[in-house]
Amino acid sequence: MTLKPFEICSIRPPTENQSLTFRLTRNCYWNKCTFCPVYKLGARFSRRSIDDIKADIEAARRLNIMLDGSSGNTFHKGRQDPATLYQNARKLVQQLQASSEMATETGAPDSPATVNSQWADDPQVGWFMQWFKDNTGIADSIDHLVNWRLGGGRNCFLGDADSLILTPDFLKEVIDAVRCGFPSIHRFTVYGRTVTAARIRSLAEMRAFRQAGLNRVHYGVESGSDTVLKNVRKGESKDDHITGCLKTKEAGLSCSIYVMPGLGGQQFSKEHAEETADMITRAAPDFVRLRTLQVFAHSPLAGQLKSGTFQEASEEQVVLEIRRMVEKIDAPTQIMSDSATNLLQVNGRLPEDRLAMLNIIDAYLVLARMPKKIFSLQARLEAFQGQYGGFSEDIYTKLIPFVTNGELDIEAMPEPKIDELILLIRSKLMP
């Protein structure tokens, strides 16, 4: 049997960054959201057959066994010496790349990374495309397994965009196959659309997903304002969000939602925040994750920004939106700031931690203009380093004139340089 790579879900929630992933579908069947650049380069939606998915699971299982090599340091319940693991991974990649028994690449021919487009030479598109592994090589597959092991080896994410469109029986067959090949996995999660949970899936079917082994559904609700949802062509309503979340929880599934501060722009900033807070109060999800809007090149929203039909909210407006939400949400839930696009780290449980979160927000809001900008640049630099492990060449080039004796002196930067750097860094941060 020829060894081959397996397809990886490049688009997944931040909390699933160290999960083992398998693609049940490819890309997004909706693909109309104006803020989203991910599938706008020509990728088409497709469902994968159970045989293709099981072949990927088997390929991952065989590579996972081979990762232990001859060291005897067998992976068990997430415990393994990292140095030995990295050494085994390097040896295995070299061995397989030299073997004629290995398929070199797998993936969809119409994936975002392979589509010819008018934007192929755009530097921002190129920056993000290098992190998307839609066409997976053997080294990518092995790196993915290493990352999963180092994360504890207990979680699995099944993508891509809305796995609730699949039947509970289909999902059960996948989960059973994953459990057979990877017995250390105890949590299975998916992305979903609230409109699917609210209008397409019955409560019995949602319960069947739970009985199949699914533990959590991640929903990108973005806003509770019907005006904003319509403007960004989300294809879902506030009522869909509420009904879908309530049904998910009633079925015994953990409900995790993503909201997008800034999505209403300047015009609908207050409505966006207040309606989102009301939606969260009525839906009472287990987790509310903040993912601040970043307008990406070639997204429909970028075109609206250029034409002037959308005016981007300032950083202070975005922080005020988050403050309104924290202040007004009247339901037990966990607020999490786990996206690199966020300026402030606002984390805690409501209602217990409301005052502490408001204090963090207010400490920023009382700053004068220049201290706010210095704070913003420092926060963005830390986020970039945390996400990528260092600075890209263009960022480094702009920083180096302000480094003295190995220390960066941000206060010596002219205000236009600070603004320029903040925009550059934000344009490269993954949400």
Task: Give the integer Cα–Cα distance in Å for 128 and 13.
Answer: 16
Give the bridge partners for 335, in sequence order: 288, 348
What is the DSSP code (8-state) at residue 74?
A: -
How far the first Cα of the chain sits from its last, in Å, is: 39
pLDDT of residue 113: 45
Each domain of the chain, given as residue ranges in start order, spans 14-365, 377-426
* Strand duo 187-192 + 216-222: pairing: parallel
Task: Give the integer Cα–Cα distance in Å for 393 and 148.
Answer: 29
HSE of 359, CA atoms in CB hemisphere, 13 A: 5
pLDDT of residue 118: 55
On whether the 14-365 domain is CATH 3.20.20.70, my answer is yes
Q: Which amino acid is at 217?
A: V
221-233 confidence digits (pLDDT tens): 999 999 999 999 9
Cis previous bond, 176, omega within 30: no
Look at residues 274, 264, 279, 271 and name the one whose alpha carbon lies nearest to residue 231.
264
* Strand duo 254-259 + 46-47: pairing: unpaired
pLDDT of residue 105: 59
Q: State which residues of the chain have pLDDT below 70.
A: 1, 39-42, 70-80, 100-121, 125-126, 128-134
Task: Give the integer Cα–Cα distance in Å for 78 and 107.
Answer: 28
Would you call 72 exposed, middle or buried from its count of C-beta atoms within 10 A (0-12, 13-18, 19+)? exposed
pLDDT of residue 120: 57
Task: Give the integer Cα–Cα distance in Å for 42 and 113.
Answer: 10
Residue with tokens 């203009």: 369
Task: Give the integer Cα–Cα distance in Å for 140 and 204.
Answer: 38
Task: Give the integer Cα–Cα distance in Å for 36 and 297.
Answer: 10
